[in-house]
C-alpha cells in the first residue's frame, strides 16, 4: 500500500510539472553544410540531443528519403506542399545545455532558383510542425504512462473492493459460527450438569444396592442354617 501511494504521488507530481503548455518558436538561421552556408530555420526544444535526433529522423521520413550515414541528415526525393523535389534538404541538431535545436535548410546553389525560393518559404513551416510534433509525441508518452498508472490504480482499487467484499462475507460467516458455537456451548454446559447429576444418582443407587445385597446375603445364610437344623 505504501508503494502504491508513493507511485501515485510520483505520477501526480509529474503531471503538475508538465501541465504548462509548450510554446514552439522558429528562428531564421544559417548553418555550414559541406563548407558552404545554407539558409534555413531552427526550432529550440526541451529535450536531449538523442531524443531530438530520433524524432527528427522519424519526421523527415514522412516526406522524404534519407541518405544513410549522411551527416548532417540529408534527404532525397522530397515531397513538400504536394510538390516533388530532387534537390536535398538538410537537417541537423545542436545541443544547448538542457535544450536541443533542430535546423532545417537548403543550399541555394544545389537548387533551381525558382524551386529554392519556394522551398525556402516551406522550411519555416517544417521546423514549426516538427517542434509541435515533438512536444505532442513527448506528451503522448506522458499520457501513456499516466494511463498505465490509472489502470494500475483502478486494478488495485478493484482488488481492494473484492478483498473487502470477501472479508465481510468471512466476518458474517464467523459471526454466525460464533452464535452457533455459543448455543452449542450452552447445550454442552447443560448436558455436563445433567451428567453430573446422573452420576451422583448412580453412585447413591449403587450404595443402596450394596446395602440391600448384604442384607439379602444374610437372609440366604440364615435360611441355609435353618435348613441344616431340620431332622
Model confidence over 62-83: pLDDT tens digits?
999 998 777 899 998 999 988 9
Is there a contact between 87 and 111 (Cβ–Cβ < 8 Å)? Answer: yes
Mean pLDDT throughout 198-225?
86
At 15, the pLDDT band (50, 70, 90 cuts) reads: low
Asked if pLDDT for residue 107 goes beyond 80, the answer is yes
Higher pLDDT among residues 25 and 3, named by residue: 25
* CA–CA separation, 85 and 106 (whole Å): 12
Tell whether 215 is covered by a domain.
Answer: no
Asked if pLDDT for residue 102 goes beyond 70, the answer is yes
Tell whether 50 is covered by a domain.
Answer: yes
Mean pLDDT throughout 201-228?
85
Q: What percent of the chain has pLDDT over 90?
A: 63
In the chain, the number of structural domains is 1
Tell whether 201 is covered by a domain.
Answer: no
Residues 6 or more apart whose CB falls under 8 angstroms from that of 100 comprise 44, 45, 47, 48, 49, 51, 52, 93, 94
Mean pLDDT throughout 155-179?
94
Tell whether 170 is covered by a domain.
Answer: no
Would you say the pTM of this structure is higher than 0.75? Answer: no
Tell whether 172 is covered by a domain.
Answer: no
At 24, the pLDDT band (50, 70, 90 cuts) reads: very high
At 19, the pLDDT band (50, 70, 90 cuts) reads: very low
Is there a contact between 193 and 185 (Cβ–Cβ < 8 Å)? Answer: no
> What tens digit of pLDDT does each residue of 128-144 get?
999 999 999 999 999 99
Instruction: Provide the pLDDT for residue 7.
Output: 57
Instruction: Provide the pLDDT for residue 40.
Output: 96
Q: How many CA atoms lie within 13 A of 152 on its CB side?
A: 13
Is there a contact between 77 and 16 (Cβ–Cβ < 8 Å)? Answer: no
- Which residue range(s) make up the domain with 126? 22-142
Cell output for 118? 519556394
Tell whether 27 is covered by a domain.
Answer: yes
Q: What is the mean pLDDT of the chain?
A: 88
Tell whether 40 is covered by a domain.
Answer: yes
Instruction: Provide the pLDDT for residue 46.
Output: 93
Instruction: Please give the C-alpha separations between residue 36 and each of 32, 108, 161, in angstroms, as whole numbers.
Output: 5, 10, 68
Residue 71: CATH number of its domain: 3.30.310
Is there a contact between 102 and 56 (Cβ–Cβ < 8 Å)? Answer: yes
Tell whether 77 is covered by a domain.
Answer: yes
* CA–CA separation, 124 and 137 (whole Å): 20
Residues 6 or more apart whose CB falls under 8 angstroms from that of 120 comprise 39, 106
* CA–CA separation, 94 and 100 (whole Å): 6
Residues 6 or more apart whose CB falls under 8 angstroms from that of 169 comprise none
Amino acid at each position: 500500500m505504501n508503494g502504491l501511494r508513493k507511485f501515485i504521488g510520483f505520477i501526480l507530481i509529474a503531471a503538475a510539472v508538465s501541465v504548462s503548455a509548450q510554446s514552439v518558436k522558429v528562428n531564421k538561421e544559417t548553418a555550414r553544410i559541406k563548407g558552404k552556408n545554407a539558409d534555413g530555420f531552427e526550432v529550440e526544444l526541451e529535450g536531449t540531443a538523442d531524443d531530438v535526433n530520433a524524432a527528427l529522423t522519424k519526421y523527415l521520413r514522412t516526406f522524404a528519403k534519407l541518405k544513410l550515414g549522411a551527416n548532417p541528415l540529408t534527404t532525397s526525393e522530397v515531397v513538400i506542399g504536394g510538390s516533388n523535389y530532387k534537390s536535398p534538404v538538410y537537417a541537423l541538431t545542436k545541443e544547448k545545455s538542457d535544450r536541443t535545436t533542430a535546423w532545417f535548410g537548403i543550399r541555394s546553389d544545389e537548387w533551381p532558383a525558382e524551386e529554392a525560393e519556394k522551398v525556402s518559404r516551406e522550411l519555416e513551416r517544417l521546423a514549426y510542425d516538427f517542434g509541435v510534433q515533438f512536444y505532442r509525441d513527448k506528451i503522448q508518452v506522458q499520457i501513456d504512462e499516466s494511463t498505465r498508472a490509472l489502470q494500475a490504480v483502478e486494478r488495485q482499487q478493484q482488488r481492494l473492493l473484492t478483498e473487502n467484499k470477501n472479508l465481510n462475507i468471512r466476518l458474517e460467516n464467523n459471526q454466525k459460527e460464533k452464535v452457533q458455537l455459543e448455543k452449542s456451548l450452552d447445550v454442552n454446559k447443560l448436558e455436563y450438569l445433567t451428567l453430573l447429576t446422573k452420576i451422583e444418582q448412580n453412585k447413591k443407587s449403587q450404595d443402596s444396592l450394596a446395602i440391600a445385597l448384604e442384607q439379602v446375603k444374610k437372609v440366604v445364610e440364615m435360611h441355609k442354617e435353618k435348613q441344616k437344623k431340620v431332622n
